[in-house]
Structure 1
Amino acid sequence: MPPLTPPTLTRLVLAVATAGSFIVPPLVSAEEQEQEPAWAQGRAAELGESPLSPHATPLTITPEEDIPVDHLRLPDGFSAEVWAHGMPGARMMALGDEGTLFVGTRGIGRVYAVTDQGDARETHIIAEGLGQPNGVAFKDGSLYVAAINRILRYDDIESHLAQGEDIPEPEELTEAFGLPDDEHHGWKFLAFGPDGRLYVPVGAPCNGCEVDPDTHATIHSFEADGSDMRIEARGVRNTVGFDFHPETGELWFTDNNQDWIGEHGPGDELNRLGEPGEHFGFPECHSVGIVDPELGSANACDDKTLPAAVTDPHSAPLGMRFYTGEMFPEEYRDAIFIARRGSWNRTLSVGYDVLVAKLSEDGLRADLSPFMVGLLDPRENSFSGRPVDVLQMTDGALLVSDEQNGAIYRISYESPSYME
């Protein structure tokens, strides 16, 4: 699909605005923007009374009997259960060497640890009072936590948990990493790559604006101690999930596109990094080659890397992982599971599910299809859960974090009897 230049985009806007697809009226002034919350940046003056706004995350424990596991729908042979609960705001996950599950949060400022006791799990609060400690990663016995610009390392943490000891104060690596302290899109995802480096995104500090391409809207990588920073990708508005292809080692990542351009576009993205330093478009070019009506020029998309796949606008694809286990059928091997937290910037909600992305034969593109649904009720335009991350267990089962209910679901597979 060729890029959409400003004149073409203008004709598209005029043609479909009456259907509610794209709405790009005059923007509010800079002074008015400063008085509005961050999520309202870019909202046109005519939409000042719009009821659309982010959904608040409950910060209290959801009783187990109220967790909507019975709403979940999966392909034949798959089943879901509540694996752990009692963790308000549960988001990104990392697995320790001894099987401990570590869980980050945003608004509640906590980091949890879940220890498996066989037929039950115990939940521990190992840190609190942090600034949006969303990102967690584990390597060589240490837990790494990202809280906006802070990077903390908790050494030998599973040993302390196993012995029932207090968690020692973490090693502060903040100065070494030198990350910006912007809160808007400042929450982080963390993952160690096959090269042993720690990969850290730095989101755009705005809805849509010019950014320093060496600082914001990037994915950085570092040595584990914060040294030797490299920029791996540019033009990435807000990724909160990535993983590495199990065979090629290529970085794949989700990206959340701009709000207030329109309810039905531009689509959110699944991207593949072919070469270090590639530019993925923000802020000039969005999705499948849509030139930004304010910041783009006629050729803005010509030198940009377009997505490997595009999903529904505003659906918030976040955590994603390649599946390498043996529990699920062969068709899922090396596929990507993607958690979509769900929309707020559109009237008819979308997302609140888990997708599966199966790669093309050449490994350059992906086809998306539903995998776990049921938390969104389209008839009532309401939701009962918000998936944020996915994580493969050592036995091949898939964990899904539900931020809305502070719960972790375990998805397993057994061949249906009619297939035996």
Structure 2
Amino acid sequence: MLRNLDFTGAQGPYRSMLPRGSFDVEAAVGVVRPIVADVAARGEAALREYSEKFDGVVPQSLRVPAAELARAAEQLDPALADAFAVSIQRRRQVAEDLELDSNPTPAVLADGARVGLRNIPVERVGLYVPGGLAPLASSVIMNVVPAQVAGVPSIAVASPPQKEFGGLPHPNILALCHILGIEEVYAVGGAQAVAMFAHGVEGLCEPVSLVTGPGNIYVVAAKRLLRGLVGIDSEAGPTEIAIVADDTANPAYVAADLISQAEHDPLAASVLITPSTALAEAVQAELVRQVDTQKHRERIRTALTGQQSAVVLVRDLDQAVAVADAYAAEHLEIQTADAEAVAARIRNAGAIFVGGYAPVSLGDYSAGSTHVLPTAGCACHSSGLNVRSFMRTVHVIGYTEGALMAIADGVERFALAEDLPGHAAAITVRRPQ
């Protein structure tokens, strides 16, 4: 099912050798640019036309009425509501306990000289929740909870309208918005939703400072086009999983986890990195067996047989770690003997799942971690969406007269060396007469 890449004789660098799907955002920008310009120029009329064109339905109201949010929550299956509650509680607990530090102790540099930090939330964010191949209600939690913990005062959510729900977003998405206290929800999808958030639409939606959330290539292209006008979390591409496994791994677990990511999208990447030929063969057999039982088997099969997916055979676990770091996976599972020790050696991954009982599916919903993660190798320089994604760090500088005078000569000298005498004068004017 997966092609084999034999790295046993390779010494690296591995980045150019690894399987990676093509994701041409620049080509999509050409498609998105006129949509963005049209929404900026014509506002709601353009949104309605694109809704009909791309989603096949025009909502009666682009902003979802609060009654619909409440009704969706009331009609939730109780077991599903309980699962939502666990996911919210755990995500919030991790965000509050591990990610929030709003009052770090200032640094005292000298008598009367101190520099502190303030973490200030952005004023308004637009959160995008996909609704295409899979209505990702879980993305509501992953976007909203950390934004709330950060203290963002104004939060808006957009998700594509759905034909089967009368032009509203999926009911689970609406229900979660209501449960989380989000009242500003828009039935707008795709590039036009990003344009709406960035430019604002008079009488409908105020512009935002930051747009976050996953989406298809056109959502990504719109984010790229509008970056600068608004902040963005990342340019996330198709989802991906890499699994580092040895002969102690359960091949059924490994195959199921590869399939779970392939289920997202025909472009999803599933990569197994192993020094064990026996495990690789057992996983291939499990894939053949398990894929045939899946509801979305054709989508899964397309992803697993695509150029972006493979079994990578390595010499040993040392090479496996090096290959995994070069790949910098969105999701990285470690299913080896002493998985904790192997995981501790990993430097580049969006999230690391340790051992046979921490599958990526757990992180997608209720592990407490974020599932909005960097893709396409960007985990080597970027982090997943978290509380700090919604905050700006500001230095707060406080100097007394004596503290300034103690270093005034040096500051003036530095300014003059840069041919900025006005900078020096701003120090000189404060000298005692």
TM range (shorter): under 0.3
Give TM-score scaled by structure 2 length. 0.26
Structure showing greater Rg: 2
- Normalized per residue, the structure richer in strand is 1
Q: When the two structures are superposed, what TM-score results if normalisation uses the length of structure 1?
A: 0.26
Which structure dedicates a bigger proportion of its chain to helix?
2
User: Which structure is richer in relative contact order (CA contacts within 8 A, separation 6 or more)?
Assistant: 2
